[in-house]
Amino acid sequence: MSSAQSKASLPVIKRLPKYYRYLTSLQAEGRDKISSSELARMMGTTASQVRQDFNCFGGFGQQGYGYNVTALREEIGKILGLSLPKKTILIGAGNLGRAILAHMEFAEKGFTIAGIFDRDENFVGEILEGIPIQHTDALEQFCQKEKPSVAILCVPKMASQDLVRRLMGLGIKGFWNFSHYDIGVYYPDVAVENVHLGDSLMTLCYEMQALENKKGE
Amino acid sequence: MSSAQSKASLPVIKRLPKYYRYLTSLQAEGRDKISSSELARMMGTTASQVRQDFNCFGGFGQQGYGYNVTALREEIGKILGLSLPKKTILIGAGNLGRAILAHMEFAEKGFTIAGIFDRDENFVGEILEGIPIQHTDALEQFCQKEKPSVAILCVPKMASQDLVRRLMGLGIKGFWNFSHYDIGVYYPDVAVENVHLGDSLMTLCYEMQALENKKGE
């Protein structure tokens, strides 16, 4: 890791995808330059926050003239490691797995979906996005041959525990985890990004109640 | 809002769903009591963090004897507002909308799906979870009659901007937002919970690259 990168704290890193997303929109609109204050306004933050975040990575060029949209987007993409090739398998071809497969732009982030697995015999052989669904029993053979590094887990919590143990033994280094099994608690050295949709929905509950209470005050 | 509630900061609130999730598992396993240290170990945090979090809400009972699982779960559920009834509409019946509809336990969090809308004529009339898909043109009429308070947005960013403006005018107070349109930036007084799956995937990219760099050191 470069010294510039290691200066960035987790909250800064967590904001990088959002910068990247806005810069991608700006680039698509044909914008050449953007000032820290305009970028901040778009993103609902402050210019000082933007400059502070970018300073963690060396500043990204002259502030007085604004940032070059294309160059800045490329720099942030590099820091995020979007071009690092990541051979990926999807486990769980139910509704959620299918939606994610159809919805996400994996290739532009360096992910190549190499295999799809489900324990439901009825799904086996079905083709999704050009890839045939295999039974999870075939995981060992597939991983030993193809050596994927990332697994997307769209399975129930009960199934995850055993699957994660198997996948760790098969060389999987990163998990995009939609299950409720907290992988990071048991395997601290692996890259895990959890998507807890239920937690997100409960947070919305809290916010709705807070609005109600505010109204009643 | 009670004074106990108003003491809790955003990071504490963001952790409440996770506590609730673990307590639900413990309850299902038939556990009566849990100590702060055991709960902390399960969740990958510290006992002092757990006690500190709970103190924001009055402490939830005697620490020496452990917490009563059922009572603690119920208290946290109340704080989260899970029992507040929230009449909800889903906009966007593509892959993602369908997966969310099939996957989430809305009822136990107080959400009732009252209507489903899509702008694709081909979907109109199809029944999902017992509810017929309507055209988005019917939103005005439906909302004036049914008065939903929450909208789940599973539509592209381009469509969101216009939809959110319409929905705000129709009395929607909360958004579960899967689109890339940052509602909160434009409407600060509404409850918004964003699920940016692309951002999550980019964070995983970063973590994978960090692992690579660590290996190379």
**ipTM confidence:** 0.90
Do the bridges between strand B127-128 and strand A33-34 make them parallel or antiparallel, or are there none, so unpaired? unpaired
Contacting residues of A for B174, CB less than 8 Å apart: 204, 207-208, 211
pLDDT of B146-165, one tens digit each? Answer: 999 999 999 987 889 999 99
Q: Quick one: pLDDT band at residue A63, thresholds 50, 70, 90?
A: low
* Structure confidence at residue A133 (pLDDT): 98
Q: Tell me which chain B residue has its CA closest to the CA of residue A202.
A: B17
Residue type (1 letter), B52: Q
CB atoms A197 and B104 under 8 Å:
yes
Read off the tokens for A216.
Answer: 């009643």
Mean pLDDT over all residues of chain A? 90
Backbone angles phi, psi at B151, to 5 degrees: -125, 135
**Given a cut of 90, is residue A81 above it in pLDDT?**
yes
* Two structure tokens written together for B108: 């136990």
Tell whether the model's pLDDT for residue B4 goes beyond 80.
no
Q: Give the C-alpha separation, B6 to B10, whole Å.
A: 10
What is the average pLDDT value for chain B, to the nearest integer?
Answer: 90
State the smallest CA–CA distance between residue A141 and chain B in angstroms. 24
Helix (H, G, I), strand (E, B) or coil at A189: coil
Q: Closest approach of chain A CAs to the CA of B127, in angstroms?
A: 16
Q: Which chain B residues are closer than 8 Å to A103 by Cβ?
A: 94-96, 197
State the pTM of this model.
0.85
B16, B21, B202 ranked by CB distance to A20: nearest: B202
Residue B63: what pLDDT? Answer: 58
**What is the arithmetic mean of pLDDT over B75-97?**
94
Mean pLDDT of A183-210: 92
Q: What is the pLDDT of residue B157?
A: 77
* Token code pair at residue A84: 């690092």
For residue B10, the distance in angstroms to the closest alpha carbon of chain A comes to: 10
For residue A197, which residues of chain B lie inside 8 Å, CB to CB?
100, 103-104, 195
Short-list B139, B196, B114, CA closest to A193: B196
Question: Which parts of chain B are beta strand (E)?
Answer: 33-34, 67-68, 86-91, 111-118, 127-128, 131-135, 150-153, 174-177, 191-194
Asked if B185's CB is within 8 angstroms of A111's CB, the reply is no
Average pLDDT over residues B184-191: 90
Closest CA to B82 of B105, B100, B48: B105
Which chain A residue has its CA at the smallest distance from B109's CA?
A202
The 10 Å Cβ neighbour count of residue A216 is 7
A-chain CB neighbours of B176 within 8 Å are 200-201, 204
Report residue B62's pLDDT band, with 50, 70 and 90 as the boundaries.
low
Contact A43 B185 (CB under 8 A): yes
Closest chain B residue to A185, measured at CA: B44
* Lowest model confidence (mean pLDDT) among A82-91, A111-120, B180-189: B180-189
- Within 8 A of B19 by CB-CB distance, chain A residues are none
Least confident of A162-176, B52-66, B164-178: B52-66
Q: Do B204 and A193 touch (CB under 8 A)?
A: yes
Residues near B212 by Cβ (< 8 Å), separated by ≥ 6?
A81, A84
Question: B13 CA to chain A: closest CA distance, Å?
Answer: 8
Whole-angstrom distance, CA of residue A202 vs CA of residue A211: 14
